Structure 1
């Protein structure tokens, strides 16, 4: 299975958070295909000012957006049972599972775990920091037609590009081992990339 989706969600700051933005970018193996999906949603509870300062999305920005419940069939159609990738992917998995209770990807690869394994001397592992250190910011922005850190499509692209940057130079057997270790669903399948 070569197709995967790099995924990023942004929330409203509630507990548990409601998804207000979802960005997914398609990968074929370790490469982006150029297929990008982006949605914004109107949450049931307002976006807190603290999280608006982080991701830049305000209540006015999503006032005309549909509630996520109106779009779940479309999201499910895109994600199906494909593997997903994300930086601290547990956040995406938990948030999406709340609105897609019948959805379960075959694998959930955490680019944060991959970075920690392959960059042992790095002091910080935040996606924005790693993008700076590895010079990936322009590539992520170009992949989704613009954007910056903490936007769903940009962060999804950054997770995918980070994964490619870290794994591409490695032999296939090493890639597979690292990916299996980074799969938070503990799928143990054959070669995926």
Structure 2
């Protein structure tokens, strides 16, 4: 099954109030294994960058000023997404910005039926726990030491690892068990197929001389417990 894990960075929290999408990162997975195929783009938001947003992702208006507008990369993005389920952390936020940008250029919205929200999955698995990406990566031992600021592609890559864990992991133990069964069957088959020459057992009883030395040794004990 093909799935796309994605994340976005924006100028703020409200796409209907004028905030814009400035970065998107997408990671392709097949059967919950990353294929190495990604889509990553920065967008010129055609507006200023609030200081509080820049503090989160580090993307300044100056840095984004020469990047393509969303409309210039939209077709390539939609092609990469295809018809796969779309996995995001707090997915309603990311879908809101993506669909607002698509609406601005007259393109069809991405159906929310395709939305897979890892926050909702984590809430069911860990009620009452912290549900941020950082907190969940710590819970599952996912290395995020290189994450100094939010970044759409980096966060999508971390989320892909987290998604696998939230869905039960890759069940490596079962795979190893299957391998062990295969190896055992091979060994049994090999053992059955080998013809062996019968060899009579070697004598193993003590000799008369050995019995005499043992009796002499035991006589050296005075009042042994076993003779009471």
- TM-score interval, normalised by the smaller of the two chains: 0.7 to 0.9
Q: Which runs of 5+ in 2 are unaligned?
A: 172-228
**What TM-score results when the alignment is normalised by the length of structure 2?**
0.65
Q: Equivalent of 1:136, from 119, 137, 142?
A: 142
Answer yes or no: is 1:113 the counterpart of 2:124: no
Q: 1:147 deviation in Å?
A: 5.2
Runs of 4+ that moved beyond 6 A:
none
Aligned position for 2:132: 126
Query: Secondary structure of 1:71's partner?
Result: helix
Query: Secondary structure of 2:34's partner?
Result: strand
Query: Secondary structure of 2:157's partner?
Result: helix
Q: Which runs of 5+ in 1 are unaligned?
A: 172-193
Q: 1:95 deviation in Å?
A: 0.9
CA distance, structure 1, for counterparts of residue 14 and residue 127 of structure 2: 33
Query: Secondary structure of 2:96's partner?
Result: helix
Aligned position for 1:165: 165
Equivalent pair of 1:14/1:48 in contact (CA under 8 Å):
no
Q: 1:84 deviation in Å?
A: 0.2
Equivalent pair of 1:47/1:59 in contact (CA under 8 Å):
yes
**Equivalence map 1:43-62=2 (5 Å):** 43-62=45-64
Q: 1:15 deviation in Å?
A: 3.4
The structure whose residues are more often helix, as a share, is: 2
CA distance, structure 1, for counterparts of residue 85 and residue 148 of structure 2: 25
Q: CA RMSD in A?
A: 2.2
Aligned position for 1:95: 97
Aligned position for 1:152: 152
Aligned position for 1:18: 20
Q: 1:61 to 1:71 in 2, by over 3 A?
A: same
With a CA cutoff of 8 Å and minimum separation of 6, indicate the structure with the bigger relative contact order. Answer: 1
Q: 1:91 to 1:6 in 2, by over 3 A?
A: same
Alignment deviations for residues 141-168 of structure 1 (CA, whole Å, 9 cap, x no partner): 8xxxx65551001111222211101213
Aligned position for 1:7: 6
Q: Is 85-94 or 8-17 further displaced after alignment?
A: 8-17
Aligned position for 1:175: none
Q: 1:90 deviation in Å?
A: 0.7
Higher gyration radius (CA): 2
Equivalent pair of 1:5/1:83 in contact (CA under 8 Å):
yes
**Between Structure 1 and Structure 2, how many residues are aligned?**
163
